[in-house]
Amino acid sequence: MTEKPVVATDVGGVKEAVGSCGTVVRPRNPEQFARALITLLENPEMREALGKEARERALNYFTIERALELYLNSYKKLAFRVAEPKVIPLNLKRQKLLSEKGYALAEIGYWREAISQFRLAIDAAVDSTAVPVLLTEIARAYNNLGNFDMAFNELEKVEAMVEYLENNRTA
């Protein structure tokens, strides 16, 4: 987020990530890559404009807040797609109650207390589809506390849990 213009190759989602804030060239084309770099080096106004646009794009699309929002929305959809059982097991009822406490505490800014409730909710039913959502909420709480490393750690747990749930889903 330092207002630097970008020259990148079109692999994976790079083209979408860069958008109009930089130059994207074909992969394995060093001549095209070099020409794009030279164009930037010779044009300070272009460098400045692309750099400012890149910073603005990064602030709008690639902040931890945005990542948390996207994770949370995805996992809420995943959690609610699963059919509700006719008789809800006691551990899932407990998980729901504890997560509601966590949401209430988060709503009023009691982030540490919310984290504790979300962790208790996870412990109540560790293999439920709500766990990725709860881990994302913990990451959001850590983010609000300014503890970004812990927020990223929780997001890594989210990814692992989603993979686990997908691999162990009963048909």
Task: Give 118 or 55, the one with higher predicted confidence.
Answer: 118
Beta carbons of 57 and 21 less than 8 angstroms apart:
yes
Q: Is residue 124 scored above 70 in pLDDT?
A: yes
pTM over 0.75: no
Domains of the chain (ranges; CATH) run: 6-61 (no CATH), 64-167 (1.25.40.10)
Q: Is residue 171 scored above 60 in pLDDT?
A: no
